[in-house]
Structure formats: C-alpha cells, structure tokens
Structure 1
Amino acid sequence: MLPGSRLPSVTFRTRVRDDSIEGPNPYRWEDLSTEDYFGGKRVVLFALPGAFTPTCSTFQLPGFEKGFDGFRALGVDEIYCLSVNDAFVMNQWAKAQGLENVKVIPDGSGEFTRRVGMLVRKDNLGFGLRSWRYAAVVKDGVIEAWFEEPGLCDNHGEDPYGVSSPETVLAWLMAEAQGAAA
C-alpha cells in the first residue's frame, strides 16, 4: 500500500478476557473493526507470517515490545502485531512472549491481509495462506509510511527481514520528527 492510502474496513474476531466468566477459559468473543484499532490514533502496525515462528518470536515481536518507550516518545499511541492466525493462537503467543506493550490482532481469515495486498501462499512451509512481512505507520486509519520486505511472492524460499524491523521503523519516525522540528 502507498502512503496516503486508507486501511480497508474489516472486522476482526477477537477473544478478550472477561472476569465475569467463571472457569478455566474466562474469555468472550468480541468483534473489533479497523476503526476500533486505528481510529483517532497514531500506531505502528507490523505483520508477519506466523505466531511462534523463529524470526517473529526472536527478533521482530520482542524488538517492538522492548522499543515501545522509544516509539511512544515519537508520538506513537499503540503498536499492533497482526498475523493470519486465529484469536486463540494470537492470545497464547502474546502470553508466551510476556507482552505488556504490543497488542496482537488476529486476522484469522486473512481478509485484512488480502485487502492490503499482502496475502501470500506459504505452502512450501506447510502454512497455507499467510501474511507477507511488513510494517506501517498509520495515523487515524491512513498510512503515513510503509515498510515491505523485498521479494513479495507465493512460496518464497526465504523469510526476508530487515525493512520491517523495529529499528527501521523507529529510524523513520526519528527522521520525520527531526524534519518536522526543522
């Protein structure tokens, strides 16, 4: 997607903790829209091929989590991690990663990912349809900056990572802030 483009309007099926529910699974379904996540806020969105996968779990997600204060200092209200995984998987991954700052968005059907042009086949890894790795700075639902890994295609033989890294996005935000201050 290009800067200036509006994110597609979709509904995400999420599971949220509800302490009024007793038992071992105190969660309920909650539909959240693109507007709920992105309306009236400046956010960093990053998307990746799958929860619990090596690059995603070792570098990208932890990097955004640890760098949250730096992003916040540059005017970012939220950081969202999106994957073509269901709400159960995304919630368990967030728990396993000990997330306190980054919020996960489940795109279980891949509808959002398809509509932003990032849905790819990963059959070569046994994944099926997944997201290509990218990041974006989004203000009130409109893309300010887009960071897409090179080589977008089905069944890519590698997992490129760097363009959508927290360091790259943070550097862009810093340059943009310095330009605005000049």
Structure 2
Amino acid sequence: MQAGQKLPDVTFRTRIRDESIGGSNPFRWEDKTTADYFAGKRVVLFSLPGAFTPTCSTYQLPGFEDNFATFQEHGIDEIYCMSVNDSFVMNQWAKAQGIQNVKVIPDGSGEFTRRVGMLVRKDNLGFGLRSWRYAAIINDGVVEAWFEEPGICDNHGEDPYGESSPENLLTYLTEAAKGAAA
C-alpha cells in the first residue's frame, strides 16, 4: 500500500459484549466492514504478527495506548490494532493488556492483510499465515501515510520493529503539522 490508495472492502467477524445475553460469556457476533472502521475518520491502523507476542505486547500496543491523547492532539480520531487472529484472541489480549483506548480488529482469515499485501508465512515460528508488521495513517478509508518494517518476506528470521512504532508515527504527524503551518 502507499499514500492515496483506498483500503480494500472487507468484512471482519467480531465479538462484542452484550449484557442482554447474560451468563459468563455475554458476547455476540457482529460483522463490521472496512467502512464501519474507517469511513469519515482519520485513524491510525497498526498491524502485527500476533496477539500476546513479545514485541507486540511489550512495546507496540502499549506505546499506542499510552500515546492516545497525543495522537488525538494531532487530529487522530481512533487507533486500531489489527492482527491475523480471531476475535476471541484479540478481545482477550486487549483485556490482558488493560487496553482502554486502542480498539482491536480481528482479521481472523487474513483477508484484509492479504489484500493490502502484508500477509506472510511465519511457519518458522509455528504461526502459519500472519501479518507483516506495519502501521498507517488512514483518512476516510484512504492511506495518508504507510510505515512498513523493512525486509518483508516469508519466515523472516527476525521481528523488525521501528518504522511502525508509535514514536515514528508521532514524528510523521508532527512534521506534517509543521509543513501544513508553513
């Protein structure tokens, strides 16, 4: 993906809390589309190889969560974390991380990830198909800026992290604001 490209239309299978269901697992299925998440908003989307994994849980997700207010100051309405994991896993990961501001998007089948060109094999780690690590600023469903970790390939021996970090996106937003003010 690159700046100016429109996100693909995909339907995501999510589980949302619904107290009317009762019991110990009061969740129901709810389909959400690309438009539901991205239409009419300026958002950060970041994607990672897997929920509960070290870099994702230690740096990337907490970094976006901790900087949510700063992103809002730069005109960001929402921050979304996507992974090729199902809704059950994504919801439990967000709960375990104590996430209040970042919203998780389950790309369980990898359809969105495939269509943006970021689906890679991670068989070397026992993961199967997963997302390459990236982040983007999306404005009304169109890519404003794209931040992809270098070296995209199947079964990469390392887990590069830096381009898609919250700090890097905040640097971009700060510089873009300076440019707009000039």
TM-score, normalised to structure 2's length?
Answer: 1.00
How far apart in 1 are the matches of 2:14 and 2:174? Answer: 32
Deviation at 1:138, TM superposition (A): 0.2
Q: What is the match of residue 73 of structure 2?
A: 73
How far apart in 2 are the matches of 1:181 and 1:16? Answer: 41
* Residues 105-148 of structure 1, C-alpha deviations (whole Å, 9 max, x = no match): 00000000000000000000000000000000000000000000
Q: What is the match of residue 20 of structure 1?
A: 20
Query: Runs of 4+ in structure 1 displaced over 3 angstroms?
Result: none
How far apart in 2 are the matches of 1:42 and 1:98? Answer: 24
How far apart in 1 are the matches of 2:103 and 2:26? Answer: 19
Instruction: Output aligned runs, 1:6-155, within 5 Å.
Output: 6-155=6-155
How far apart in 2 are the matches of 1:93 and 1:14? Answer: 14
Would you say how many aligned residue pairs link Structure 1 and Structure 2? 182
Deviation at 1:13, TM superposition (A): 0.1
Deviation at 1:178, TM superposition (A): 1.0
In structure 1, give the amino acid aligned to 2:155.
Answer: N
How far apart in 2 are the matches of 1:2 and 1:159? Answer: 22
How far apart in 2 are the matches of 1:15 and 1:88? Answer: 7
How far apart in 2 are the matches of 1:44 and 1:82? Answer: 11
How far apart in 2 are the matches of 1:175 and 1:141? Answer: 22
- Identity level (%): 77
Deviation at 1:90, TM superposition (A): 0.1
In structure 2, give the amino acid aligned to 1:12.
Answer: F
Q: What is the match of residue 162 of structure 2?
A: 162
How far apart in 2 are the matches of 1:137 and 1:95? Answer: 25
**Root-mean-square deviation (Å):** 0.3
